[in-house]
Structure 1
Amino acid sequence: MTRILVVTPNWIGDCVAAQPLLMRLAERRPDVVIDALAPAWVAPVMEAMPQVRRVIANPFGHGRFDPVGRWKLARTLAGQYDEAYVLPNSWKSALIPFFAGIPLRVGFSGEARIGVVNRRHRLDEKATPLQVERYAQLAEPVGTPLARPLPDPRLTRSPAQIAATLAQLGLADSPRPVVFCPGAEYGPAKRWPERHYAELARELAARGHPVWLLGSKKDQPVAAEIARLAPDAVRDLCGVTNLAQALDLIAHARLAVTNDSGLMHVAAALDTPLVALFGSSSPNYTPPLSGRAQVMWLQLECSPCFKRECPLGHFNCLTQMTPASVLARVQSQLEAQS
């Protein structure tokens, strides 16, 4: 039996993109046991992966160094693992496997990681343009091209989990909703305008489709504005659900409409029909990996800029994506289900 510890990224979408690496490790070594060292805010995503035996809480997220704390956590893991895969590129993210004495520590070169990572891959952006490919590259011997095709991420939710979440939140199980995920933690240049979401919600409500808004507490101002503009058309659940419950509701939905966000990748991995709206970012790097996803991207001359705020001040890459055009994509998805 090979025991592997995976140090996960800190972002929901990146964790979803990491699953094909775990699939490949499990496929090639049927006796493998994989645990994930993950921040609490992404743990439910890792727990929804069949390849993961357990998730160990990583309290050192987003810039926190704390070498003594990392050493203490590492000592609780000593002797438990044969290999570690360190997915973040920072030096400090590799310290826990190093302090734990895990013999093989795999990751990309970067930030003076010689020694703390002892099987180092060099990132070839042209050979692996997608984030999901870059993580999966770590399963190959150093210098070996990535074996393609890759499997798509696939998260699992059981009917019992979905039913329990609906009951806890007092939500009807029928008719199944259209879910909007209007947030994007990266910044407003990735968010379709609230007025557009509100208009789309009104059109869907007029056709008999319930619309639920999902997101974190950080997304509450965006959701509140949509609810103000379409008060009788939406059920605002932003900040009401935890991430595990959000997974259940997205799995239950007939369709999701999302910005390029972590929940977009969750919806794709749950195989929920999806309309994904791209603005300042590019589906050529982080697309939703699902045959049931439709991407909308205007590909204006100024995009992708990958900025948090529009550097030109107009957000045309999103404002010019009309509610009518998105409604047409949504209707085609719903009709395909019928």
Structure 2
Amino acid sequence: MGGFRALIVAPAWIGDTVMAQPLFMRLHRAYPGLQLDALAPPWVAPVLRRMPEIAEIVDNPFAHGELSLGARFRLGRQLARRHYRQAYVLPNSAKSALLPFFAGIPERVGFTGEARYGLLNRRHTLDEDALPRMVERFAQLAQAPGTPLARPVENPRLTSTEEQRAATLGALGIERPKRVAAFCPGAEYGPAKRWPARHFAALADALAARGYAVWLLGSPKDRPIGDEIVRLAARAQPRNFCGATALAQAIDLIAVADFVVCNDSGLMHVAAALDRPLVAVYGSSSPGFTPPLSDRATILSLNLDCSPCFQRECPLGHLNCLNQLEPQRVLAACLAARADGDAP
């Protein structure tokens, strides 16, 4: 079916975008010769560029919650010139469905939600029990509404070539260490998802004693916690790259790492999709809905009676779910993951 063009209206979160990739894989199998483009905000575009299923990325300039009806209409009319036959609307808001409607895309696919009956014309009804994980909900959109999801669902797989990794290391002026652990100490949702800086620092010291360099990766918002880890580390000398790299560079640095330690965050999903040995630390959230999608991921959670609470800050004021998750336990998981892993 040559010349078949479809548009993905991408999520606004890095992790959600990674979990959408199995949908893209399934669409390519369903439509040989498909050109699949993505309408995406600039902060998730680097992840989409590492997916071979995506041909072009169209900038989505609208901030979260921004209606800008006139600007959306004008962008929709620009999209109309691309002659897409389908659009897959992954966010659940009505605003996200406006652009494909304004573009006159014949088939507009998504879950029924927030007043979207007229905007979508191939609507799925969400059965949370049948589709407990987000990756399953995205993958379901490749099928006819009401049909059971074809399982198993594929794992996401981002690309990072040797040339890309070398270019990133060169641009940052760093040499590839013999052994390196990557820490992703941030979590956009809030403090109740962040393992304490003192625990990251203790883990960095234990790994430094075993010959590992430690890199800290994250957004500019994560720079303070990265600085705190550096300050608290007694033996290690972690490199704080939080806010100092583009997302594409962070992807390449993760791909270099022998293993990765993450909170439940977007970079956790990136590490899983790069197939790196991964230790994922869970506090206020649950791996049931958005787990790291990799056979090489180890999930650590104390499973306290008060968790998961899904709060941004600990409602009980003690954050025991993370404070009591000791660095020695995470170290043991790291070393086991490394023993089962391979060099990138």
* TM-score, normalising length: structure 2: 0.97
Letter in 2 for 1:30: P
- For 1:258, what is the secondary structure of its paired residue? strand
CA–CA distance in structure 1, aligned partners of residues 81 and 143 of structure 2: 24
Letter in 2 for 1:34: L
CA–CA distance in structure 2, aligned partners of residues 336 and 50 of structure 1: 27
- Deviation string, structure 1 residues 215-263 (Cα, Å, up to 9, x no partner): 0001011111101101643111110001000000001111100000000
- Deviation string, structure 1 residues 168-210 (Cα, Å, up to 9, x no partner): 0011123141000000000001000000000000110111100
Which residues of 2 match residues 195-234 of structure 1 at below 5 A?
195-230=198-233, 232-234=236-238
CA–CA distance in structure 2, aligned partners of residues 256 and 30 of structure 1: 36
CA–CA distance in structure 2, aligned partners of residues 97 and 76 of structure 1: 11
CA–CA distance in structure 2, aligned partners of residues 335 and 148 of structure 1: 30
Q: Is the 8 A contact 2:221 2:243 kept in 1?
A: yes
- 2:139 counterpart residue number: 136
Which residues of 2 match residues 41-120 of structure 1 at below 5 A?
41-80=43-82, 81-120=84-123
- 1:18 counterpart residue number: 20
Q: Is the 8 A contact 1:37 1:56 kept in 2?
A: yes
CA–CA distance in structure 1, aligned partners of residues 172 and 104 of structure 2: 44
Q: Is the 8 A contact 1:10 1:61 kept in 2?
A: no
Letter in 1 for 2:189: Y
Structure 2 residue 331 is the aligned partner of structure 1 residue 327: yes
Q: How many residues align?
A: 338
Q: CA deviation at 1:61?
A: 2.8
- Deviation string, structure 1 residues 270-295 (Cα, Å, up to 9, x no partner): 00110000111111111101111111
Q: CA deviation at 1:314?
A: 0.8
Q: CA deviation at 1:337?
A: 3.6
Q: Is the 8 A contact 1:178 1:209 kept in 2?
A: yes
- 1:159 counterpart residue number: 162
Identity %: 61
- Which moves more between the two structures, 96-105 or 328-337? 328-337
CA–CA distance in structure 2, aligned partners of residues 26 and 317 of structure 1: 41
Q: Is the 8 A contact 2:124 2:141 kept in 1?
A: yes
CA–CA distance in structure 2, aligned partners of residues 310 and 54 of structure 1: 41
> Could you tell me which of 30, 37, 40 is aligned with 1:38?
40
CA–CA distance in structure 1, aligned partners of residues 223 and 202 of structure 2: 18
Q: Is the 8 A contact 2:276 2:341 kept in 1?
A: no
> Could you tell me which of 310, 313, 326 is aligned with 1:309?
313
- 1:28 counterpart residue number: 30
CA–CA distance in structure 1, aligned partners of residues 161 and 32 of structure 2: 24
> Could you tell me which of 257, 261, 275 is aligned with 1:257?
261
Letter in 2 for 1:110: G
Q: CA deviation at 1:115?
A: 1.1
Which residues of 2 match residues 227-306 of structure 1 at below 5 A?
227-230=230-233, 232-306=236-310
- For 2:24, what is the secondary structure of its paired residue? helix
CA–CA distance in structure 2, aligned partners of residues 182 and 162 of structure 1: 22
CA–CA distance in structure 2, aligned partners of residues 15 and 5 of structure 1: 14
CA–CA distance in structure 1, aligned partners of residues 102 and 309 of structure 2: 39
Q: CA deviation at 1:336?
A: 2.6
* TM-score, normalising length: structure 1: 0.98
- For 2:228, what is the secondary structure of its paired residue? helix
CA–CA distance in structure 2, aligned partners of residues 106 and 75 of structure 1: 19
